[in-house]
């Protein structure tokens, strides 16, 4: 068991609880690996899912707990199965055998020591596909540095530009500052996007690089524009941008009436137009009708 779990400071919350003896902090999980699902996932960006799917490994627990979270059951650490590090290695290899284009680690920050060990072991046993780190960006730079040479593709969110919004919806007023530093570290590690054309799937699959996601929230077009403006002024087309319209209001946003609606297509088109106007070329956009609960996978323990 890693000593990093003894007084845990893996994420910016710095709970300093002893997860090694079953204590839990904000992430709601102790030091035992807990997974909710490990299966082929077809709803990521085209360069990640292709047509064969991304090998998505959904970890239980989260350091953010956004009020609008679409994966709320697993974020609260309620849903999931406890497994060993050795089983995680097997899962990686099983997903590769099923034809996954990559191993997609979803909300993994609170298990970084386990992940480093498991990826190294899996590679020794024949894992060849890229490792994708799918994160909220609420990450400590020191923790991310442990992933250098482990992660091939970073898939971070940039949720809020406004500290006030971050405090209101995620109880994390420091999120914008933390996310900027975290993404800078990700780009330092993977500064150049590399794609491989896969003839059978007729798609360019990302092998290395950074793809930043920005989920447009209802009523927050200006905040989203600020994020894209910052990213473009800082990284230009060195990184890839994923402009997301899939926000889905679920039952637990009833106390936030401003979030209890979808984003209109007209508003989303204004967002995309703005990104194009400022010079964004490497971008992914979403089609209509993606804001549906049917796009949220069943966290039923498949593949765990």
What is the structure's pLDDT at 298? 75
pTM reported for the whole predicted model: 0.96
Phi/psi for 289 (5° steps) reads 65, 30
DSSP-derived secondary structure for 195-256: EEEETTTTEEEEEEEEEEEEEPPTT-HHHHHHHHHHHHHHHGGGSEEEEE------GGGTT-
Range with lowest mean pLDDT among 101-110, 162-171, 264-273, 294-303: 294-303
Residue 244 to residue 100: CA distance in whole angstroms: 23
Reply yes or no on whether the pLDDT at 295 is more than 80.
Answer: no
- Closest by CA to 132, choosing from 191, 90, 186, is 186
Reply yes or no on whether the pLDDT at 294 is more than 50.
Answer: no
Render pLDDT for 127-136 as a digit per residue (tens, 0 to 9): 999 999 999 9
Reply yes or no on whether the pLDDT at 245 is more than 60.
Answer: yes
Render pLDDT for 81-139 as a digit per residue (tens, 0 to 9): 999 999 999 999 999 999 999 999 999 999 999 999 999 999 999 999 999 999 999 99
Residue 63 to residue 124: CA distance in whole angstroms: 31
CATH numbers and ranges of domains, the chain: 3-295 (3.20.20.70)
């Amino acid at each position: 068991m890693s000593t990093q779990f003894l007084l845990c400071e893996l994420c910016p919350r710095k709970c300093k609880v002893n997860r090694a003896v079953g204590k839990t902090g904000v992430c709601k999980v102790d030091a035992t690996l807990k997974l909710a699902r490990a299966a082929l996932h077809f709803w990521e960006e085209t360069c990640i899912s292709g047509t064969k799917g991304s090998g998505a490994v959904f970890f239980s627990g989260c350091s953010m707990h956004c009020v609008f979270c679409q994966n709320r059951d697993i974020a609260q650490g309620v849903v999931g199965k406890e497994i060993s590090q050795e089983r995680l290695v097997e899962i990686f290899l099983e997903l590769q055998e099923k034809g996954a284009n990559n191993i997609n680690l979803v909300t993994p920050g609170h298990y970084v020591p386990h992940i480093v060990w498991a990826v190294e072991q899996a590679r020794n046993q024949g894992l060849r596909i890229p490792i994708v780190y799918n994160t909220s960006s609420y990450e400590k730079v020191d923790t991310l540095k442990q992933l250098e040479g482990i992660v091939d593709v970073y898939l971070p969110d940039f949720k809020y530009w406004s500290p006030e919004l971050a405090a209101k919806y995620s109880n994390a007023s420091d999120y914008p500052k933390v996310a900027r530093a975290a993404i800078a570290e990700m780009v330092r590690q993977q500064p150049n996007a590399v794609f491989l054309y896969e003839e059978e799937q007729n798609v360019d699959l990302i092998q290395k690089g950074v793809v930043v996601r920005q989920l447009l929230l209802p009523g927050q077009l200006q905040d989203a524009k600020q994020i894209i403006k910052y990213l473009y002024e800082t990284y230009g087309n060195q990184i890839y941008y994923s402009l997301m319209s899939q926000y889905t209001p679920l039952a637990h946003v009833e106390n936030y009436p401003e979030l209890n609606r979808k984003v209109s297509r007209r508003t989303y088109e204004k967002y995309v137009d703005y990104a194009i106007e400022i010079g964004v070329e490497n971008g992914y956009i979403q089609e209509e009708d993606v804001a549906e609960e049917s796009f949220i996978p069943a966290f039923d323990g498949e593949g765990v």
